[in-house]
Amino acid sequence: MRIAMLGSGFIGRFYAESIQGQRTRDRITSIYSRREESAKKFASDYGCLHWTTDMEEAIAHPDVDVVCISLPNNLHETAVLLCCKHKKAVITTKPLGRNASEAKRMLEAVETADIFNGYLEDLVYTPKFLKALESVKNGALGRILWSKSRETHPGPHSDWFWDLEQAGGGCILDLGCHCVEIGRNFIGKDIKPVEVMCWADTQVKPIEAEDHAIGLVKYENGAIGQFEVSWTFRGGLDLRDEVMGTEGTIWINNFLRTGFEMFTTGKGADYVAEKAESNSGWLFPVGDELNDLGYNHMFTDMFNAIEKGISPKETFYDGYVVNAVLDASYKSAKTKLWEPVKLDIWRGQTGLSKPSNLVEFDADHYLIKEEMTHYGAKKLILKNKKSGLISERIL
């Protein structure tokens, strides 16, 4: 693939390291940056033959097959519409839009232009997540009841994140987009999110947006997705996922407790891991940051899909659904009520209801619980079908 990278900052460089390191035949052939010095430096660092401060020039360049958007949120729509104009495949960093209206316009634009579109949600491509999702899909956890995702850290790197107009929101939009899509994958992306209850506040940072939030997303089949996000967490980057079903549970810890622990006085230490707050004391490095954060698997999926003429695992449609859930989250944080998720475009199942929780034991009883006691006897907790009486039986 010959790629135009739009944006030369933190995420653009993360993407470049992965793109030119995983599939070695892929190259960034053009770099756009709003600042000339940044464009030149990126071009030098990654061997780009073309650099520019004109976004359309980078997108329209004849040596570009696919455009990768790593720009502030308020510039996504402009970039996407230019990709549609020049019929270039487009992949974009999260979130797709600042709100569902922007996301819907971008989704409709790429589909009308009939161009490839990919949503760069890296955290559903991490090796641990992919293995967990495979287990879920194979039925190891039974029917999924609850999914919880947490992303917290001391705050983003670039100035625009902290500006409400450019970013469109605070930690809910920045981090909640990851958590919601993780939950959708575990619960089922064809299961409709129907309403949200969310608490949010600005607890620490002198900004207009929220810096801490917790939310619940209710799905049509009765499953619950939970997100915990913060720009106020001290100690580094905390990425954790949990998923629970009728037959099992999975816990995932991607950062902080990685299985790699190191103590240092700080001598010779510099960069340890993304958003690490210290380079001395007990540290928790990551073995392969690009791979552990999902970038390698994500770009491999995107580029393989382009070559095969199929859709990738994550598309603009997924980004749109996530934006709609986050819109409901913001509204709920203000009203303190469950707020409906408004989806003008829904392509999954409809009319689902919560499955029955009644487990047949015999003609007269439902089974509540079965367990082995410490003294070796098997105990059953039963509910009488007619009277509702709860009883126990020792076998």
pLDDT in tens, 129-173: 999 999 999 999 999 999 999 999 999 989 999 999 999 999 999
**71, 208: one domain:** no
- Minimum mean pLDDT among 81-90, 115-124, 261-270: which range? 261-270
Q: For residues 77-105, give the mean pLDDT.
A: 98
Looking at residue 285, its pLDDT comes to 77
* Percentage of residues of the chain with pLDDT beyond 90: 85
349 inside domain? no
Q: Is the pLDDT of residue 373 over 70?
A: yes
Structure pTM? 0.93
- The verdict on residue 128 lying in a domain is yes
Is there a single domain that holds both residue 156 and residue 279? Answer: yes
The predicted pLDDT at position 268 comes to 64
pLDDT for res 21: 81
Greater model confidence, 257 or 271: 257
Beta bridge partners of residue 251, listed in sequence order: 242
Cis peptide before 72 (omega within 30 of 0): no
Answer yes or no: do 136 and 199 share one domain. Answer: yes
Q: Are residues 329 and 370 in the same domain?
A: no
Residues 281, 187 share a domain: yes
Domain count, the chain: 3
| Residue 348 domain-assigned (yes or no) | no
Please indicate, yes or no, whether residues 117 and 128 belong to a single structural domain of this protein: no
Beta bridge pairs of residue 4: 30, 67
Residue 275 has what pLDDT? 67
Q: Give the per-residue pLDDT at 23.
A: 65
Residues in contact with 67: Cβ distance below 8 Å, sequence separation at least 6, in sequence order: 3, 4, 6, 58, 59, 79, 83, 88, 89, 90, 91
Q: pLDDT at position 269, please?
A: 62
* Residue 161 and residue 287 in one domain: yes
**Residue 238 included in any domain:** yes
User: Phi and psi dihedrals of 162, rounded to 5?
Assistant: -85, -5
Position 355 in a domain: no
Domain boundary among 69, 86, 121: 121
Beginning with the edge strand found earlier in the chain, give each strand of the sheet holding 378-384 in spatial order: 365-372, 378-384, 390-394
Residue 281 has what pLDDT?
83
The verdict on 107 and 209 lying in the same domain is: no
**162 and 236 together in one domain:** yes
Q: DSSP states of 295-356 as a string?
A: HHHHHHHHHHHHHHTS--SS-HHHHHHHHHHHHHHHHHHHH-S-EE---S---S--S--PPP
Distance of CA 182 to the CA centre of its chain: 5
- Does the structure show a pLDDT above 70 at 274? no
How far are the Cα atoms of 60, 110, 352 from residue 334, in angstroms, in the given order?
43, 33, 29
Are residues 155 and 75 part of one domain?
no
Structural contact between residues 136 and 243, judged by C-beta atoms closer than 8 angstroms: yes
Residue that is last in its domain, among 92, 121, 150: 121
- At 258, which CATH number? 3.30.360.10
In this structure, the answer to whether residues 111 and 137 fall within a common structural domain is no
Domain limits for position 260: 124-297+305-340
Summary mean pLDDT of the chain: 94
Residue 354 within a domain? no
Report yes or no on 384 lying in a domain: yes
pLDDT confidence of 270, banded at 50, 70, 90? low
pLDDT in tens, 92-134: 999 999 999 999 999 999 999 999 999 999 999 999 999 999 9
pLDDT digits (tens, 9 = 90+) for 355-366: 988 999 999 999
In a domain? residue 278 = yes
Calpha distance 243→355 (Å, rounded)? 18
Same domain as 325, residue 225 = yes
> Residue 17 is part of a domain; what is its CATH number?
3.40.50.720
**Domain final residue, candidates 121, 154, 170:** 121
Q: Report whether pLDDT(180) > 70.
A: yes
